[in-house]
Amino acid sequence: MSTAASASGTRTVRGACPHDCPDTCALRITVQDGRVVKVAGDPDHPPTHGALCTKVSRYPERSYSPDRVLTPLKRVGRKGEGRFEPCSWDEALDDIAARLKAIAARDPQAILPYSYAGTMGLVQGDGMSARFFHRLGASLLDRTICSSAGGEALTAAYGLPVGMHAEHFAESRLIIIWGSNSITSNLHFWTFAQQAKRAGARLICIDPRRTETAEKCHQHIALLPGTDGALALGLMHELIANDALDHDYLARHVDGWPALRERALQWPPERAASECGITADEVRGLARDYAATKPAAIRLNYGMQRVRGGGNAVRLIAMLPCITGAWRHRAGGLLLSSSGWFRPRMRAAWLQRPDLLGERRPRTINMSTIGDDLLRESSAAFGPQVEAVVVYNSNPVAVAPESAKVARGFAREDLFCVVLEHFLTDTADHADYVLPATTQLEHWDAHRAYGHTYAMLNEPAIPPLGQARSNAEIFRQLAARMGYTEPCFADSDETMARGAFDPEHVDPAALAAQGWAKLKIADAPFAEGGFPTPDGKARAGKAPGLDVPDYLPNYEGPRSAPALAARYPLAMISPPARHFLNSSFVNVPSLRAAEREPLLEMHPQDAAARGITSGATVRVFNERGEYLCKADVNERARPGVVNGLGVWWRKFGLAGTNVNQLTHQRLTDIGRAPTFYDCLVEVQPCAGA
């Protein structure tokens, strides 16, 4: 790959940001005397355009942190205590292989891999590890913790999770930013939205919280959490009533509209407004703007699908550009995820080798119910008790719902737990062995994106620090110790990274030369229909296995659970903090300082009613537990909703817990995903604080 060297002894290496973010930036990494001195955005990569977020500009600070785990560690304290002593790689890997072999001899399904998107790389994410666990016959993991409700809903609507090109938002005349705090979580999209705004576009934000993004839009509609489906139906009602439909597009490219039309006619703006906690004029005005302004684009994000009806809501919203024909223009339509564009263009079966399962069909465990599942005994329905868990690229003790149960599960003395990590996270504290993993500066990888349409390659800038090894290398070595001799276990990280994409679709030479390559996708992909469904039509009504989409109120809300709502009258959402990435970066001092401390935003009215002032220590609680933090009284919170930002590490919390102490493990309507933002609480000033 084109590595530029200069006379002064500095080199620039091309990389890709590994984090779970829609932007997947192209990086230029400056190395001087063997040390990374700077990580910058690639000015030539259109979505990155030379800019990085604050977090990833600090990637060297994170990678060279004195807290990095740089040798294998073996537990010496009690489970969860986080006391370890260094050991050799041979000792750790020999012991881990022996323990896994003994369990596998009884039933390999008692072993569970647990991973998510600490890195989204196709090699260090689920490449060699997938080969390893498929060969082993371990339990399969249903990776639902983030986007599966929206992803499967979009698949029901369009055939795959696909949408607009991010760049084309710059030409939109109306942008609806829906369930997304773009400035925090999708900064490079925001740049395109700003270009559109400067050219006269109108920006409307739909979000319960008055985010920094909402503040910079022309209008903010602060609906109640989990009511987006009702709003979409109310908008459809108005589009029908005002005959703002593209009848030709509907007839030729949309299946099942009559059934959805019938449903939408039951949602006059007054009904939708009352469900959403907004005014009927807001519904009418939004419908009018959406109908009258062309091209109109929707930037939907995952924030709105972390509730019971999240999947149905995505199906409904995905129909808006179909019924108005917004898809006809390249700057019209919708983007929730672009990941489906990559699916037919990468070599998933080669990377992950599901064929190594042979005839075996292991059970599947949902990562979002890990709290319950680690505490289950063997049974006919469940299968064997989980005896070993291997965690990589994830911090479940902090990020999974109902974390009191998750922590209790990981604290089981009889659970053998291995964690591959950069740092001693809340989860690593529960390990029998912590294995030091490399960061993106130290390993090869290849990346797809879910917010743009470029394939990416990451070249290592420096050798591994200390004794760190890449995830792929760790699983390669474990495979050798398990006695696996299939040639795929000899593939190097570089071979896997370079081979990740189908060369018919992504030119390997271009990818290597530039570090990125744009997928070949039509500018306005659905201008003439052509959705990736069997008949090429979008599905407004029934979809395989699913009824006509409908609004489903939250599990925890006055409508579905009035008695609960009387005891716990505040809805709590816990969206991302700007300076963290889920629970990553929480331990980087400069970024933690920017987020100050765990806070709960409350509207002045709700705070006054409870005698709470800004800075006071509060007890946030429900029947699942309690969480202590500081109150931040301001009008970012709407009345009736409190915001607990960011996924703090539990050990940084006032009482060793975080917001997930309060969330529950019930799943979304579609996609078996967690419902983090469907959560009622009460808040009190903390006695004695």
Nearer to ligand MGD, 441 or 618 (CB): 441
Quote the least distance from Cβ 394 to Mo ion, whole Å.
11
CB of 177 to ligand MGD, least distance (A): 9
Choose one: 188-196, 417-425, 598-606, 619-627; the region binding ligand MGD (CB under 6 A).
Answer: 417-425
Which partner, ligand MGD, Mo ion, none, binds residue 422 by CB below 5 to 8 Å per kind?
ligand MGD
Which listed option, ligand MGD, Mo ion, none, makes contact with residue 574 (CB within 5 to 8 Å by class)?
ligand MGD
* Stretch binding ligand MGD (CB under 6 A), from 266-274, 341-349, 415-423, 503-511: 415-423
Q: Contact between 149 and Mo ion (CB under 5 A)?
A: no
CA distances from residue 543 to 15, 82, 235, 320, 527 in whole angstroms, order as listed: 40, 48, 22, 17, 22
Compute the distance between CA of residue 613 and CA of residue 627 in angstroms, rounded to an integer: 17
Query: For residues 73 and 146, which CB has a smaller minimum distance to Mo ion in the complex?
Result: 146
Selection from 579, 578, 574, 583 nearest residue 629 by Cα = 574
Per CB under 6 A, does 337 bind ligand MGD?
no
Residue 551, classed as helix, strand or coil, is coil
254 binds, among ligand MGD, Mo ion, none (CB under 5 to 8 A by kind): none
Six-digit token pair at 19? Answer: 């984090």
**403 interacts with, out of Mo ion, ligand MGD, none, CB within 5 to 8 A per kind:** none
- Between CA 207 and CA 303 the distance in angstroms is 9
Residues facing residue 418 across a β-bridge = 390, 433
Q: Least distance from C-beta 686 to ligand MGD, angstroms?
A: 21
Q: Does the footprint of Mo ion cover residue 154 (CB under 5 A)?
A: no
> Could you tell me the smallest distance in angstroms from the CB atom of residue 121 to ligand MGD?
7
Residue placing its CB nearer to ligand MGD in the complex, 118 or 653: 118
Under DSSP, the state recorded for 674 is: B
> From CA 575, how far away is CA 598, in angstroms rounded?
13
As a whole number of angstroms, the distance between CA 630 and CA 683 comes to: 11
Task: Give the three-class secondary structure for 504.
Answer: coil
Convert residues 206-225 into a mask of x (bound to ligand MGD by CB under 6 A) and - (unbound): xxxx-x-------------x
Residue 581 binding ligand MGD, by CB under 6 A: yes
Q: Residue 531 binds which entry of ligand MGD, Mo ion, none, with Cβ cut-offs from 5 to 8 Å by kind?
A: none
The smaller minimum CB distance to ligand MGD, of residues 146 and 254, is found at 146
d(CA 111, CA 360): 15
**Binds ligand MGD (CB under 6 A): choice among 573, 599, 600, 607:** 573
Binding letters toward ligand MGD, positions 101-130, x by CB under 6 A:
---------------xxxx----x------
Q: What is the 3-state secondary structure (H, E, C) of 412-446?
A: CCCCEEEEEECCCCCCHHHCCEEEEECCCCCCCEE
Establish if 282 lies at the interface with ligand MGD (CB under 6 A): no
Asked if 514 interacts with ligand MGD (CB under 6 A), we say no
| Touching ligand MGD, residues 447-486 (CB under 6 A) | 471
CA dist 41 and 135 (Å) reads: 39
146 contacts Mo ion (rule: CB under 5 A): yes
Backbone angles phi, psi at 571, to 5 degrees: -85, 130
Q: Which residues contact 631 (CB under 8 A, 6 or more apart)?
A: 599, 600, 602, 607, 612, 613, 614, 615, 616, 617, 618, 683
Nearer to ligand MGD by C-beta: 268 or 576?
Answer: 576
Which is nearest to 57 in space by CA: 667, 624, 581? 581
Query: Mask of contacts with Mo ion, 96-135, x by CB under 5 A?
Result: ----------------------------------------
Q: Are strands 570-573 and 599-602 parallel, antiparallel or unpaired?
A: unpaired
Closer by beta carbon to ligand MGD, 124 or else 172: 124
d(CA 373, CA 138): 15
- Structure-token pair, residue 175: 């942008």
Using alpha carbons, select from 45, 56, 128 the residue that is nearest to residue 581: 56
Residues interacting with ligand MGD, by CB under 6 A?
A: 20-22, 116-119, 124, 145-147, 178-181, 184-185, 206-209, 211, 225-226, 228, 301-304, 307, 392-395, 399, 420-423, 425, 437, 471, 573-576, 578, 580-584, 647, 659-660, 663, 676-677
Residues interacting with Mo ion, by CB under 5 A?
A: 146
